[in-house]
Structure 1
Amino acid sequence: MASSFEKFQRRRVISSYFSVVLCIFIVLTLLGALGLFVINTDKISGYVKEQIPMSVYFKSDANDSITTAFGTRLKNSKFVKSYEFVSKEEGAKNNPDIMEGYDGVLDANPLPDSYSIYLKSDYVQKDSIKEIELQLREDLSVGDVVYERELVELANENIAKISYWILIVSGVLAVVAMLLINSALRLSIYSHRFTIKTMQMVGATKSFIRRPYVWKGIKLGLIGAILSIGVLMYLVYWVDGEFPVLNIWEDWQKTAIVLGGVLGFGILIAAISTFFATQRFLNLRTDDLY
């Protein structure tokens, strides 16, 4: 019977420790992911802006020499990230729905030659992109310049709003993290409340009683933080693989600060929560333990 009871108690303790580590791991991973997003906001914003195309359509009388010269001009332009020439034939292949409306009506391809231009992120601003549009329209061979004005405004406004709300969510999540981790640690220490009170009754000081529990909390916090850091490092590796242009590891100092913050926060919150959870049972009367 004693052996079975000891096994039950051991499983119960292990289960409570597992719950604490899992809670710390989940919370720290969420906080760390938000932190990584915040420090890379400029890169993410730049990446989004540089995916917005500006299409330059030529007049029907523009020949190959004109379009080639225009491409050379784009190559030497400080505001161009990349560009692609789209011939009228390629335009017809890329827009079959448009061409269907002209079947049997026109013998020739009505689509003009064009360039798809992707601007550097610094120039994807309302005023800057307007100046670039006017500059391109000055070319007599250019028939039209088209880009999504609303998308440009959204890209600039929403990134700032998202960053602002992420900071708020991070703050709220940090408070929730403290409450959840504190609650999980209190539950794990609850099963030791009689041991704590017995040690106190035989003359052990509060600091002596608290010490092993605080160290246990620090170890659990460390385990949860290390697991979280492992997941976050894999997340960074995956993002860099899927979106090489972001190159998050390039700013490894900032990434290291976030990961170090995750480690420090996990240890600190576990130590503080364990301290107060143990202190609570030390301050209770014996009758209140039941």
Structure 2
Amino acid sequence: KSVEVDQLQKSLALAAYTKSTSYVSKEDAAEKHSEEIGEDFLEFLGYNPLKNSIDVHLKAEYVATDSLSHIATQLSERDYVEEVSYDRSLVALLTDNVKRIGFWILFASGMFTFIAVLLINSSIRLSIYSKRFIIKTMQMVGATKRFIRRPFIWLNIKLGIIGSLIALVALGIALYYLDIRFPELRILEDIKMLIAIFGGVFILGVLISWISTYFATQRFLNLRTDDLYY
């Protein structure tokens, strides 16, 4: 490799958008191409028309038409770079599909989250409703609202933690299956995203349980004794 090629590969490896790079000599490219087409095209042509190249594997967040166009423009400005090639139509198609899929996934996630909140809230309210007379009795003998709420909140937080852990196990299995089925997505390689998702699910499960329990107990604490029968 020439000094310029070596410097280019090093600068690409250090770029923020680069995940990995690999140098492919024209000899290696010719050998690979011959294997793909099943014949030695060098014998037919009499020379090797291929060029030395550097394959650049980008990070997922940079695989977009605008980002790739900007990167290609920057690299093309170098005198010793003859061509920057990538499948523009495929990238555009993938970007559009990802946007569509992302929208529907977000919509479905929002709907399922809303339904989950309703179910959890209803279950907690029914559970506390069955103990409304106990709550009022404790209040009548002098127990404070905080003292009455505490066991209900802790119980439902524990249930929320258990539910969140079960959900995380199911989510982990689903992501593992998707990673095996579609390895090109590299789902399990983005550790920050996985931490954010798993942490969000866990915190959301606990938070929903706490908020629902607080307001459910507060409702019965504020009711008059006569209203408990309705």
- RMSD, aligned CA: 3.8
Gaps of 5+ in 2: 1-38, 73-86
Matched, 1:65 2:42: yes
Contact 2:160 2:206 in 1 (8 A): yes
Q: How many pairs does the alignment contain?
A: 173
- Alignment deviations for residues 7-56 of structure 1 (CA, whole Å, 9 cap, x no partner): xxxxxxxxxxxxxxxxxxxxxxxxxxxxxxxxxxxxxxxxxxxxxxxxxx
Q: Report the 3-state secondary structure (helix = DSSP H, G, I; strand = E; otherwise coil) of the residue aligned with 2:142.
A: coil
TM-score under structure 1 normalisation? Answer: 0.49
Query: Partners of 1:283 and 1:69 in 2: how far apart?
Result: 92
How far apart in 2 are the matches of 1:124 and 1:208? 55
Distance 1:124 1:183, change over 3 A: closer
Please state how far the C-alpha of 1:285 moved relative to its aligned partner.
1.8
Aligned to 2:143: 204
Alignment partner, residue 269 of structure 1? 208
Do the aligned partners of 1:240 and 1:247 also contact (CA within 8 Å) in 2? Answer: yes
Identify if the C-alpha distance between structure 1 residues 219 and 284 changes in structure 2 by more than 3 Å, giving closer, same or farther. Answer: same
**CA deviation profile, 1:217-252 (whole Å, cap 9, x unmatched):** 100100000111111111222222222333322222
Structure 2 letter corresponding to 1:157: D
Find 2:197's aligned residue among 235, 253, 258: 258
The gaps in structure 1 that reach 5 residues or longer are 1-61, 82-120, 132-146
Q: How does 1:1-290 map to 2 (within 5 A)?
A: 64-65=41-42, 73=50, 76-78=52-54, 153-290=92-229
User: Conserved in 1, the CA contact under 8 Å of 2:64 and 2:92?
Assistant: no
TM-score (norm 2): 0.61
Classify 1:184/1:72 alpha carbon distance in 2 versus 1 (closer, same or farther; 3 Å). Answer: farther
Q: Which amino acid aligns with 2:129?
A: Y
1:33 aligns to what?
none
Greater CA drift, 168-177 or 250-259: 168-177
Instruction: Give the AA of the match of 1:65.
Output: L
In the alignment, residue 155 of structure 2 is paired with which amino acid?
Answer: K
State the 4+ residue runs in structure 1 displaced beyond 6 angstroms.
66-72, 121-124
The one-character-per-residue Cα deviations of 1:181-235 (angstroms, maximum 9, x if unpaired) are 1111101111111111111111111111110000011001000001111111112
- The 1-side partners of 2:158 and 2:145 are apart by 20
The residue that corresponds to 1:50 in the other structure is none
> Are residues 206 and 123 of structure 1, via their aligned partners in 2, closer, same or farther at CA, if it must alter by over 3 Å?
closer
Aligned-residue offset at 1:66: 6.4
